[in-house]
Amino acid sequence: EFAEHWWSRAIKLAQGPTAAYRHVKEAIRGSYDNSLDEQLALEARLQGECGKTRDFKEGVLAFLEKRPANYEGR
């Protein structure tokens, strides 16, 4: 039961906006050493990059159309 739960969780994560996950991890890693100004600049840059992805556009469109998003990892 435990393995089944975590396997299904891993599959769900893999089907999500993986580029955004990568940026979140980068922001978290940066937060350990960055000053507040450096961290805010990093997060602004990463949000800008995420906003240019096809996954972002798909997420917004899916929300507006009230349907599940079909992320591609791009």
Nearest to 58 by CA among 13, 16, 26: 16
Q: What is the mean pLDDT of residues 20-43?
A: 96
Q: Residue 74: which pLDDT band, with cuts at 50, 70 and 90?
A: confident
> Which domain CATH number covers 33?
1.10.12
Contacts of 15 (CB under 8 A, 6+ apart): 71
What integer pLDDT is reported at residue 73 of this predicted model? 81
Split into its structural domains, the chain has a count of 1
Classify residue 52: in a domain, yes or no: yes
Mean pLDDT of the chain: 94
Q: Residue 1: which pLDDT band, with cuts at 50, 70 and 90?
A: confident
The two tokens of residue 32 are 């350990």
Q: What is the residue range of 19's domain? A: 2-64
Classify residue 70: in a domain, yes or no: no
Question: pLDDT tens, 2-26?
Answer: 899 999 999 988 889 999 999 999 9
Q: What is the DSSP string of 7-34?
A: HHHHHHHHTS-HHHHHHHHHHHHHHTT-
